[in-house]
Amino acid sequence: MNNPRALILCTGNSCRSHMAEGILREAAGDILDVQSAGSKPAGYVHPKAIQVMDEIGIDISNHRSKPMEEFLDRNVETVITVCGHADQACPVFPGQVRRHHWGFEDPAHATGSEEEILEKFRQVRDQIALVFRAYAAGLRQTAVRADS
């Protein structure tokens, strides 16, 4: 049996959505097919996103920036937007049952020293981790109750 697909959307699909994809895949990849995409993909995964995810033991270096249209002909049970622009541009996907919007600041717009910019990436990563790990825990609780 295939796991239900969760699609995480952001505008550029270069930072936030990839961090969320990596964290949710780590937390619930055994019960969800976790993917990410963008409404206007940047064409790359931000190197600082890769770096700060590596700091917590999650490798997203093989992720690729992809357009949300790549998923329009696939069943997507849950769509989660992590930025306001993607939320506004989000179409309805085949099989979509749930939609969530959890907005996070874009660390790619951070300014300052190299360390200050990295700290912003870490802050956003940690905020994403709190939300998506809690979401995964809720999914697991719901699954346990359904099996009881």
The CA distance from 29 to 23, in Å, is 9
The encoded tokens of residue 40 equal: 């206007």
Active-site residue list = 10, 83, 90
The CA distance from 102 to 45, in Å, is 20
Q: Is 115 exposed, middle or buried (0-12, 13-18, 19+ CB in 10 A)?
A: exposed
